[in-house]
């Protein structure tokens, strides 16, 4: 069996798994050293946060708009992705 799974806003969704207070809130995930936006939740996209936006340029606006920023955690995202790709998880 072959399955194609597209996890919308995957990094932001991973952050929500470990912090349920983020559900329904605009969330952005920042690159290494919190340089720029690399992922956004649906709510952040609705606010027209731009992919790749330098965080230092939008930080004040984002705070006033209620955007929550998280530093990237690639080990977490890789672990959750591997769990999702495990065929035993699909049964």
Q: Supply the pTM of this predicted model.
A: 0.83
Question: Residue 63's pLDDT is what?
Answer: 96
Q: What's the average model confidence in pLDDT over 45-52?
A: 96
Q: Is the pLDDT of residue 89 over 70?
A: no
What percent of the chain is predicted at pLDDT more than 90? 70
Q: What's the average model confidence in pLDDT over 2-22?
A: 83
Closest-CA residue to 43 (of 63, 59, 67, 21): 67
Return d(Cα 31, Cα 65) in angstroms, integer: 20
Q: What's the average model confidence in pLDDT over 46-60?
A: 96
């Amino acid at each position: 069996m072959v399955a194609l799974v597209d996890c919308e806003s995957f990094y932001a969704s991973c952050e929500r798994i470990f912090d349920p207070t983020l559900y329904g809130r605009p969330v952005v995930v920042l690159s290494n050293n919190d340089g720029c936006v690399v992922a956004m939740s649906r709510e952040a996209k609705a606010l027209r946060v731009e992919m790749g936006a330098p965080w230092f340029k939008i930080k004040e606006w984002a705070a006033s708009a209620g955007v929550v920023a998280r530093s990237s955690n690639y080990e977490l995202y890789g672990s959750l992705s591997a769990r999702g790709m495990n065929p035993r998880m699909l049964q």
